[in-house]
Amino acid sequence: MKQLTFVLLLISLSVVIIIGIGLTFKSVPLFESFNIWNLLTDKVWSPMKGKFGFLPFIAGTLSVTLVALVIAIPLCILTSIYLTEYGSKTLKNTILPLINVLAAIPPVLYGVWGVLFIVPAIQSYIAPIFAVSTSGYTILAGGIVLAVMIFPIMISIMVEVLKTVPTELKSASLSLGATKWETIQQVILRKAKPGLIAAIVLAISRAFGETVAVLMVCGNVPKIPTSIFDAGYPIPALIANNFGEMMSIPLYDSALMFSALLLFVIIFGFNLISRIILNKLEGKHNG
Amino acid sequence: MIKNSANLLILGLLLLLGNSACAPKVKNGYTKERGFEGNISLSGAFALYPLAVLWSEDFKKEHPHVRFNISAGGAGKGIADALTGMVDIGLVSRDLHPEEMKNGAFPIHVAKDAVICTINANNPNFTLLKERGLTKDELKNIFIHNKYKTWKEIDSRFTNDPIIVYIRADAAGAAETWANFFKSKQEDLKGIGIFGDPGIAQAVKDDKNAIGFNNINYVYDLKTKKVASKIDVLPIDLNQNGKITEDENFYRTINELTAAIGNSTYPSPPARDLTFVTKGKPDNLLINEFIHFVLKKKSQSYLLENGYVPLNDLLIEKESNKL
């Protein structure tokens, strides 16, 4: 039995490695014609003219994710604090299952909801406040849809994390004369910090690779966005939009594979770094 | 146990590699006692997919031993699949690239359709736009050069509202064809990219200052033969005299438009050929029979009621002679 489980483990690990190798192998034709640094810093995407600049897509991915996080993180932390510290048991027992249901909604529905509600709202209400005229298909729309998509995963993990803070710590802080809010700020959040960061990292990994919901609302213009009211073009959208149509043009195919590899490496590296940070934090807290 | 796990490892690797294997093809065609039998697989453009399904149903009525396997996934996928031998016939809704022809793509045109320019029915300049249309150069300035920020910059009689240009985000035959109209490629079109044909139609319906392009089927209602609600066709001023004359005004019903495409009054591009692509000239009796079947009058007669344009007799003759 021991060997069997070991073999299964090897198989599942090798899948990841095979994906990495396969993507690299497929990207080679592009590396032969261009150097990587130029690919990553070029601003012009025009495959038929032999210009493969990936910077607009990298910028698009980062900006949509950033907007989503700016919206989601404060809301999720406050929500989970309310649910664990202030909310009644009944409230918690109704809200949490509901949030888990939200997590199961397929992305394409979020995309449709974005097209039907968020995009027109930005076009006719939000953008005029800032005196901008836009179609509504923007980085902001992508960010909002993405934020709503990562709410459930963030909140449910954060609630679990906050539950693990020992009651003794809270009681000690309260008995020293700290108010409830001071206790939350100084004791609970501090103690739960590594867990909260882990929740955020998980949510980012999910946000980075989200394809359909974002490509339906973000505008898909391959230019570097200068404001949240510009259209953007994330990497997953690039792959989804062009894969079916362009496989017959060799270098284009290779460029799409390279963008897949890019996504793979970014997420892999990101998770690695966050893992290291988390290990350090945990060591500091428990040591 | 060791042996077991070794088997498992082999099984696992097989599963991983199994994705690239494809179903065996019946070397087939025709026998005297059973008639035609075997498999025909097709994949490719969304524009042709519904038609391929219709034709295959009919073909099966005549030849019950034939099985079809049809999937949609974009014109490029159709060509790639046909050239690598994954399928017998690729469905393509754009012109073939020279690279594809070099690799042995063999095109047979089976129908026509067209891409048309669309605007919102509540556009502030609607009446005037319908009266004067836009010339090819004005459209090129809108879609390729992004020269005009407002409608007024095109013509001083228009209002000062912004022009919002919508294009296809996904690589598509329709977008490629629309860009061809301006001697350009899809990547040269500039505007807000929306996914899919229904998506861009919806965006145009939602935005009164929108301009975009669509396949006919997404603009006209096939039941009433008239344009769907909230969206309308922007006529092209073909002779560039600054107004839409009677011979340029064939957008009232789908039948008028398909007739104009059929007799080439509506220019090509943006009218386009819908094509079957095989790897080299097909030598299989069954595949040949199916293509001949598609080019028959009866199969072509469905096209109009579904928003496509049948080939005229000359073209049918020409395409049949390719085989």
**Tens-level pLDDT at each residue, chain B (323 residues):** 445 555 545 544 444 544 444 444 445 567 766 778 888 899 888 788 888 888 999 898 888 888 899 988 777 788 888 888 889 999 988 888 888 888 888 999 998 888 999 999 999 999 988 888 899 999 999 999 988 889 999 888 888 888 999 998 877 788 888 998 998 888 889 989 888 788 888 889 988 899 999 988 788 887 888 888 889 999 998 888 888 888 888 888 888 888 888 888 888 788 888 899 998 888 888 888 899 898 888 888 888 777 788 887 777 888 888 87
Q: CA of B222 to nearest chain A CA: how many angstroms apart?
A: 25
- H runs (alpha helix) in B22-172: 49-62, 75-84, 98-102, 126-132, 136-143
For residue B76, the chain A residue with the least C-alpha distance is A245
From the list B97, B162, B194, which residue is nearest A249 (CB)? B97
Beta strands B66-72 and B35-44 are parallel
Chain B residues touching A8 at Cβ < 8 A: 8
Q: Are A85 and A108 in contact (CB under 8 A)?
A: no
For residue A134, give the 3-state DSSP assignment. coil
Q: What is the mean pLDDT of residues A224-244?
A: 87
Check residue A57 and give its pLDDT.
92
Q: Pick from A17, A248, A251 the residue to mutate for testing the B interface (most B CBs within 10 Å).
A: A248
Residues on chain A bordering chain B, Cβ-to-Cβ distance under 8 angstroms: 1, 3-4, 6-8, 10-11, 15, 18, 45-49, 115, 119-120, 123, 133, 135-137, 215-216, 219-221, 231, 233, 237, 240-250
Contact B193 A221 (CB under 8 A): yes
Contact B193 A220 (CB under 8 A): yes
From the list A45, A245, A249, which residue is nearest B74 (CB)? A245
Of B241, B245, B247, B281, nearest in space to B263 by CA: B247
Check residue B199 and give its pLDDT.
84
Find how far residue B233's CA is from the centre of its chain.
18
Q: Are A122 and A203 in contact (CB under 8 A)?
A: no
Q: What is the mean pLDDT of residues A242-255?
A: 73
Check residue B7 and give its pLDDT.
55
Chain B residues touching A140 at Cβ < 8 A: none
Which of B 92-131 lie inside 8 A of A, CB atoms? 97, 99-100, 103
User: Strand (E) positions, chain B?
Assistant: 29-31, 35-44, 66-72, 89-92, 105-120, 164-168, 192-194, 210-215, 231-233, 271-279
Which of B 165-194 lie inside 8 A of A, CB atoms? 166, 169-173, 185, 187-188, 190-194
Name residues whose C-beta falls within 8 Å of residue B103's C-beta, 6 or more positions apart in sequence.
Answer: A248, B83
Q: CA of B75 to nearest chain A CA: how many angstroms apart?
A: 5
Whether chain A has a CB inside 8 Å of the CB on B80: the answer is yes
Angstrom distance (rounded) from CA A171 to CA A194: 22
Residue with token string 């090798």? A14
Check residue B139 and give its pLDDT.
92
Whether chain A has a CB inside 8 Å of the CB on B77: the answer is yes
For residue B6, the chain A residue with the least C-alpha distance is A7
Angstrom distance (rounded) from CA B306 to CA B316: 19
Burial of B302 (0-12, 13-18, 19+ CB in 10 A): middle
pTM, whole model, 2 decimals?
0.77
Chain A residues touching B77 at Cβ < 8 A: 244-245, 247
Residue with token string 């579904």? B306
Chain A residues touching B202 at Cβ < 8 A: 115
Q: CA of A38 to nearest chain B CA: how many angstroms apart?
A: 20
Chain B residues touching A215 at Cβ < 8 A: 169, 195
Contact B188 A46 (CB under 8 A): yes
A70 pLDDT tier (thresholds 50, 70, 90): very high
Indicate the average pLDDT of chain A.
87
For residue B16, the chain A residue with the least C-alpha distance is A15
